[in-house]
């Protein structure tokens, strides 16, 4: 079937808890539906902890925007019609990339002065305020893990595999004896919210909301 291009591209950032998983996890039905409408889909495998932190992840999302704009003509994409989206942790990163497109301190050094703006951003249950996530959603996650008799420090991978049908492993860099949430946040921000409050604030999309933000 020859489907005419719509001119729109969707850049997608998968859910990961910032530490797990990869692209192409349960997203093909959505992508096929969008492709059938003529949209171009870019499914991004961004770096995770401990290879990088939130700054490196949002930088990878911005590099994906740069790549799509540079290759737009080849795929029949209008550079002004690029949307970035993601689920869970990917939604958090999509919001960050979209809302900090004009923030010089969060611009990857290797991309020069290219325009990083997108025409829209979609976040499926991505946390917008990491301080709230740390105090509320993290407690809920630890409760879910513990309810399945999984040690919150050592058997989170088993919980993910059993409950969500995933095939992953508990990150080797996680410290024993502390919660899933603290391990996640230490990997992502370099400490807890009480230890590095400015990192949590700066890494929260809500901090960067303004008139420059695209439709969300």
For residue range 9-47, what is the model confidence (pLDDT) as tens digits? 999 999 988 987 789 888 999 999 999 999 999 999 999
Query: Domains of the chain: which residue ranges?
Result: 9-128, 130-201
Residue 122's beta-bridge partner residues?
Answer: 85
Contact of 94 with 84, CB cutoff 8 Å: yes
Q: Is the pLDDT of residue 94 over 90?
A: yes
What is the pLDDT confidence band of residue 156, given thresholds at 50, 70 and 90?
Answer: low
**pLDDT at 32 (0 to 100):** 96
Helix (H) or strand (E) holding 120: strand 120-124
Average pLDDT over residues 87-105: 97
Torsion of CA 185, 189, 190, 195, to 10 degrees: -80
State the CATH architecture for 9-128: 3-Layer(aba) Sandwich (3.40)
**pLDDT at 139 (0 to 100):** 64
Give CA angle at 53 (48, 55), nearest 5°.
115
Residue 188 CB burial class (10 angstroms; 0-12, 13-18, ≥19): buried
Q: Is the pLDDT of residue 153 over 50?
A: no
What is the pLDDT confidence band of residue 157, given thresholds at 50, 70 and 90?
Answer: low
Average pLDDT over residues 131-151: 63
Residue 85's beta-bridge partner residues?
Answer: 12, 122
Check residues 36 and 152 and name the one with the higher pLDDT: 36
- 70-76 long-range Cβ contacts below 8 angstroms, 24+ apart: 70/114, 72/9, 75/5, 75/9, 75/40, 76/5, 76/7, 76/40
pLDDT tens figures, 193-216? 999 999 999 999 999 999 999 999
| DSSP code of residue 87 | E
Structure tokens at 7: 């001119």
Q: Is the pLDDT of residue 151 over 60?
A: no
How many Å apart are CA 119 and CA 215, to the nearest integer? 7
What is the pLDDT confidence band of residue 143, given thresholds at 50, 70 and 90?
Answer: low
Of 39-48, 134-143, 189-198, the poorest mean pLDDT is in 134-143
């Amino acid at each position: 079937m020859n489907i005419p291009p719509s001119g729109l591209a969707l850049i997608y950032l998968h859910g990961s808890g910032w530490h797990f998983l990869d692209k192409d996890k349960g997203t093909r039905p959505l992508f096929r539906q969008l492709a059938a409408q003529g949209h171009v889909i870019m499914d991004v495998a961004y770096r995770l902890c401990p290879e990088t932190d939130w700054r490196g992840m949002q930088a990878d999302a911005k590099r994906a925007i740069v790549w799509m704009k540079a290759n737009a003509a080849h795929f029949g994409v209008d550079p002004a019609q690029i949307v970035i989206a993601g689920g869970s942790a990917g939604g958090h990163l999509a919001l960050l990339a979209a809302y900090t497109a004009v923030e010089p301190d969060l611009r990857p050094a290797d991309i020069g002065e290219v325009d990083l703006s997108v025409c829209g951003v979609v976040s499926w249950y991505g946390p917008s305020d990491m301080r709230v996530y740390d105090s509320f959603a993290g407690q809920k996650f630890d409760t879910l893990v513990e309810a399945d008799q999984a040690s919150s420090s050592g058997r989170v991978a088993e919980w993910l595999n059993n409950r969500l049908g995933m095939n992953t492993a508990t990150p080797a860099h996680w410290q024993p004896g502390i919660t899933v949430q603290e391990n996640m946040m230490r990997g992502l921000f370099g400490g807890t919210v009480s230890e590095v409050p400015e990192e949590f604030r700066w890494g929260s999309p809500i901090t960067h909301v303004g008139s420059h933000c695209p439709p969300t």
